[in-house]
Amino acid sequence: MHRSPEMVKVFIYPATSLILSDMVARFGHTPLSSATAIRERIQTAGLESPPLQITPEEPKKGLKWAAVEVPAGVRGRMSLYGPMIEACEAAIIINDADLAFGCMGCARTNELIKFLVHQKDIPRLELNYPKNEEDGVKFVAAIKRFLTGLGGSK
Partner 1 sequence: MVESFDITPADLALRGYEISKGAMIKETCFGLVINGKEEEVDRIVAALRKIDPDHIFVKDRGFPPGDARRCRANLGGARPGYNGLEFEMSILPYVSHGLEVLDKKDIKDIPPPEDPLEHPLLDIYKLKKLIDAQES
Q: State the residues that interact with partner 1 by CB under 8 A.
A: 1-2, 14, 16-19, 21-23, 25, 31, 33-39, 42-43, 51-52, 95-96, 98-100, 126-133, 135-142, 144-145
Q: Which is nearer to partner 1, 63 or 106 (CB)?
A: 106
How far CA 118 is from CA of 78, 85, 112, 132, in Å, comes to 16, 10, 10, 28
Q: Which is nearer to partner 1, 69 or 133 (CB)?
A: 133
With CA atoms as reference, report the closest residue to 17 among 121, 96, 78: 96
Distance CA 13, CA 16 (A): 7
To partner 1, the closest distance from the beta carbon of 137 in angstroms equals: 4
Distance CA 126, CA 111 (A): 15
Helix, strand or coil for residue 58?
Answer: helix
Q: How many helices (H) and strands (E) does the chain have?
A: 6, 4
To partner 1, the closest distance from the beta carbon of 70 in angstroms equals: 24
To partner 1, the closest distance from the beta carbon of 110 in angstroms equals: 13
Q: Which is nearer to partner 1, 107 or 137 (CB)?
A: 137
Q: Which is nearer to partner 1, 33 or 109 (CB)?
A: 33
To partner 1, the closest distance from the beta carbon of 58 in angstroms equals: 15
